[in-house]
Amino acid sequence: MQSESDRLRREGKRIAVVPTMGALHRGHTSLIQLARKHADVVVTTIFVNPTQFGPTEDLARYPRDLDRDSTLAQAAGTNILFTPSASEMYPEGFKTFVSVEEITSVLEGEIRPTHFRGVTTVVAKLFNVVKPHVGVFGQKDIQQVHVIRRMTQDLDFGIELVVGPTVREVDGLALSSRNAYLTPEERSRATALYRSLRGVADLVQAGERSVGTLRDRAEGILHASHPTRVDYVAFLDSGTFRPRESIAAPGILVALAVRYGTTRLIDNEFITI
């Protein structure tokens, strides 16, 4: 992969990378299509990264179907599919990790303490292997986007980050590989994530500016869907990712994490004034 990237760069080609863990869906293919608009060559990576899973998480059962993923990736415009093994990415004796501070200790980082260290390490490795000019990521994993942007800037990767919008089902549920874990009844209840975001947006458009009132609306909609647990409902500055107690122009980022049964779902939306 490194040799091929070197060759492409010598030819003046612009390379984009779309990192994934496979189990591709329309959200992933929309990122591949977006990457085509920013580069001559699109590299899609498929690697179920063990270092970003906690000891009680779903590494063993995470869906894997390389033949299906390969077909979808190529149909969406992928030129190169890079599918390294865990032993190639983390050979015997591997001891180096990349850590971003502060932003990785809240929300997802508080609940999954080792998660972002695994994300930043694998993305740094993929950047060094693929040598892209552009990295393409999805809005649905908004904290991940902020963490990777911080790492990219701090370590002088010189890579442009492009963020694609969240892709949703007709009823608003954000597409996720983990949606496959939901029972039909849980799947129906999980629409509460998007309904709660829309409920907050409706209040903001009606003039509400109190985060406390907005949180009450979001949590009320979520709890009415009888989740196993609401991990967080966060109101954040979209630039700094810091908590906000009131809303000012241009708006506010609302991020959610909710569990139905054994399945944990996240979603977010930037709500403008």
HSE (CB half, 13 Å, CA atoms) of 238?
A: 14
In sequence order, the 6+-apart residues with CB closer than 8 A to the CB of 53 are 59, 62, 115, 118
| Cβ–Cβ < 8 Å for 33, 76 | yes
Give the pair of three-digit tokens for residue 189: 């209840």
Q: Within its chain, how far is the Cα of 2 from the centroid?
A: 25
Is residue 28 part of the annotated active site? The answer reads: yes
* Residue matched to tokens 């063990």: 50
Q: Which two tokens stand for residue 105?
A: 């200790």
Structure tokens, 135: 């990295």
The answer to whether residues 32 and 73 touch, using CB atoms and an 8 Å cutoff, is yes
Which residue type does 14 have?
A: R
Q: Which of 25, 28, 38, 226 is catalytic?
A: 28
State the Cα–Cα distance between residues 109 and 266, nearest whole angstrom: 13
- Tokens 């865990």 correspond to 86
- Residues serving a catalytic function are 28
